[in-house]
């Protein structure tokens, strides 16, 4: 009996050690996710008792012009940063991985520095750099004979400014992913190709890019998931203006949930964002052949 009790206690102890994790997960992740969906089914303002309306909040989203604007702005940010940031990150990774480049550690730190810089600090810096009257960028443009641009107040330009900041801010993070992928490619492949007379472009096209395919897929998916959640920089620099021209989905969510205290509608926006990200991620995985039975 004593041996049986000892064996049972040995089986229980691993679960006891895992219990704190599951408790924290349930309290701070699982419960908020479930409660947020519950709230999305109510017309709830503030902390008072709401009125159950089913999926009316989700149907309201389909007719909400501001939500459509925020969705368009977010998609434009995702596409704009993706098209420019991924090639830039790969280019930076190739630079810091090259044996011909000195001070690699210093360059890696410089390129990665924006990633660990506070969003508040970045917003302050670019608010000054992109100021219409006194910004450094417009001063340089005037010096070379170009007309100044109202980077943060022109409805046609403001999202492009936010995209430019996003490219600068996160290129270093994707550079690290590509650098890890580059360092995982065997040098023997390059040596064999060089023996066959391959030039640098052929080495890049036929060895580097195919070998980096899993890394590229990972970077694209992670980038899009993060880009869809953009909030801090546009909120701090423009507040979503002018006239919602830089309002993203997360900014619109914040306004409804924490400015107007419309918790039900804010929760519906949050779940709509989750569905958008999940759908696009699945489509990407299918396109890249991850779900082909491998």
* pLDDT per residue as tens digits for the range 207-262: 888 888 889 888 998 898 899 999 999 999 999 988 999 999 999 999 998 888 88
Tell me, yes or no, whether 32 lies in a domain.
no
pTM of the predicted model as reported, rounded to 2 decimal places: 0.88
Q: Of 6-15, 159-168, 266-275, which range is least confident? A: 6-15
Sign of CA dihedral 39, 44, 45, 46: negative
Q: How many domains does the chain have?
A: 1
Tell me, yes or no, whether 123 lies in a domain.
no
Residue-wise pLDDT for 182-198, tens only, equals 888 888 888 888 887 88
Tell me, yes or no, whether 183 lies in a domain.
yes
Quote the tokens at residue 1.
């009996």
In sequence order, the β-bridge partners of residue 262 are 45
Tell me, yes or no, whether 216 lies in a domain.
yes
Region class of 102: left (phi > 0), else alpha (psi between -120 and 50), else beta: beta
Radius of gyration of the chain (CA): 25
> What is the average per-residue pLDDT within 134-148?
89
Residue-wise pLDDT for 153-172, tens only, equals 999 999 999 999 999 999 99
Tell me, yes or no, whether 94 lies in a domain.
yes
Tell me, yes or no, whether 82 lies in a domain.
yes
What confidence score (pLDDT) does residue 75 get? 94
End-to-end CA distance of the chain: 49
CATH code of 65's domain: 1.10.3720.10
How far, in Å, CA of 179 to CA of 166, rounded? 20
State the maximum Cα–Cα separation within the chain, in Å, rounded to a whole number: 92
In sequence order, the β-bridge partners of residue 45 are 262
Tell me, yes or no, whether 215 lies in a domain.
yes
pLDDT score of 137 more than 80: yes
Distances (CA, A) of 32 to 53, 89, 124, 260, 283: 20, 35, 32, 20, 27
Tell me, yes or no, whether 292 lies in a domain.
no
Name the residue range of residue 164's domain. 56-118+155-287
């Amino acid at each position: 009996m004593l041996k049986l009790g000892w064996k049972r206690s040995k089986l229980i102890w691993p679960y006891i050690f895992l219990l704190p994790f599951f408790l924290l997960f349930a309290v701070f992740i699982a419960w908020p996710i479930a409660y947020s969906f519950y709230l999305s089914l109510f017309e709830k303002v503030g902390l008072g008792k709401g009125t159950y309306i089913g999926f009316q909040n989700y149907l309201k989203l389909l007719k909400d012009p501001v939500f459509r604007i925020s969705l368009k702005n977010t998609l434009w940010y995702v596409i704009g940063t993706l098209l420019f940031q991924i090639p830039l990150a790969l280019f930076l990774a190739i630079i810091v991985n090259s044996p011909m480049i000195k001070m690699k550690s210093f360059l890696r730190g410089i390129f990665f520095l924006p990633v660990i810089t506070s969003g508040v600090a970045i917003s302050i810096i670019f608010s000054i750099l992109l100021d219409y009257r006194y910004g450094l960028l417009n001063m340089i443009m005037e010096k070379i004979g170009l007309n100044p641009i109202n980077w943060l107040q022109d409805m046609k330009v403001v999202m492009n400014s936010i995209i430019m900041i996003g490219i600068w801010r996160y290129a270093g993070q994707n550079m690290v992913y590509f650098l890890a992928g580059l360092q995982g490619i065997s040098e023997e492949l390059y040596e064999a190709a060089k023996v066959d007379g391959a030039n640098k472009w052929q080495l890049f096209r036929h060895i580097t890019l195919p070998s980096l395919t899993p890394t590229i897929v990972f970077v694209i998916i992670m980038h899009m998931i993060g880009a869809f959640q953009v909030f801090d920089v546009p909120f701090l620099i423009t507040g979503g203006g002018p006239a919602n021209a830089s309002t993203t989905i997360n900014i619109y969510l914040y306004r409804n949930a924490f400015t107007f205290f419309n918790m039900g509608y804010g929760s519906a926006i949050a779940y709509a964002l989750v569905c958008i990200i999940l759908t696009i991620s699945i489509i990407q995985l299918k396109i890249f052949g991850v779900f082909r039975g491998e």
